[in-house]
Chain A
C-alpha cells in the first residue's frame, strides 16, 4: 500500500498520543485518581440505593456544578450543563411541592392531557428532568472517557432512574393513586 506523507504524520501522532496516554495512566497521581473515582462510585451507588431523593438530587447538582466550573470547555457543553442545572432547580421545587397534596393538585391539573401524563401520573418538570437528564448522561457514555469516569456516569444515570421511582411514588401518594393500579402503566422513562 502506497503511503503519503500525510498518513505517516498521522501514524506518528497517533502512536505518540496513545503511548503518552498510557504513560500518564502509569503515574502515581493517575493511580490515585482511579482509586478515588472507585471510592466515589461506591458512595454514589449507596446514595441511589438509599432512595433519599434530596441527597440524590444534591449529589447530581454537585457533579453538574463541578463540570460547569471546572470542565466546561465548549459553548455546547456549557449550555447543556446550564440547562441541566435549570431543570434540576425545577425538579427540586417540585419535590417540595409533591409532598403537599393540596399544592400539587395544581400541577396535576396543568398536566391533564394524555400526552402530559406518564401512565396515570403528571409528566411534570421533575419527571422531565429525570428522563432528559438520563438521556444526557447516556450521550456522555458514548464519549471518550476513562473507564472509571464511565462507571460514574453509569451510576449517575442509575440514580436518575432510582430518583424517578421515588418521585413517582410521591406523586401517587399526593394524588391518592394506589401503587398497584399504577403498576404496569407507569413504566417510567425506560432508559
Chain B
C-alpha cells in the first residue's frame, strides 16, 4: 500500500474507491506526489477522465502512470490505448 495520510476516522463512511481518492488528495496536500499517484493508480477512474488524459498526454503517459483502465476498456474497447479515440 502507498503511504497513508488519513486516519481511520477520516475514512469512516467512505467507499473503498473514495478512500483511494481521498488518500491521493491528502498525499497531494502533503506534497508527496509519489503517494498521490500511487493512490490514484489504485482508484477506479471514470472512462471519460482517462480518455481526456490520454488525448492530452498520449497512451504511453497513461501506461507509465500505471493507472487502472478497466472503465475505459469497457467503454471504448480493450484496445482503447492503441486506437485514436
Which residues of A are at the interface with B, using a C-beta cutoff of 8 A?
1, 3, 7-9, 11-16, 18-23, 26
Contact = CB atoms under 8 A, between A and B. Distances in A.
Given A8-B33, A12-B40, A23 B17 contact: yes
A7 B37 CA distance: 13
A21 B17 CA distance: 12
User: Helix, strand, loop or mixed for chain A's interface?
Assistant: helix
Interface stretch (B2-10, B41-49, B73-81): B41-49
Contact of A1 (B36, B37, B61): B61
Contact of A19 (B21, B28, B52, B57): B21
A81 to B, nearest CB: 31
User: Helix, strand, loop or mixed for chain B's interface?
Assistant: helix
A16 B18 contact: no
B15 A18 contact: no
A191 B25 CA distance: 44
Contact of B18 (A7, A14, A23): A23
B53 interface: yes
A16 B61 contact: no
A18 B48 contact: yes
B40 A16 contact: yes
Given A16-B40, A19-B46, A26-B15, A3 B57 contact: yes
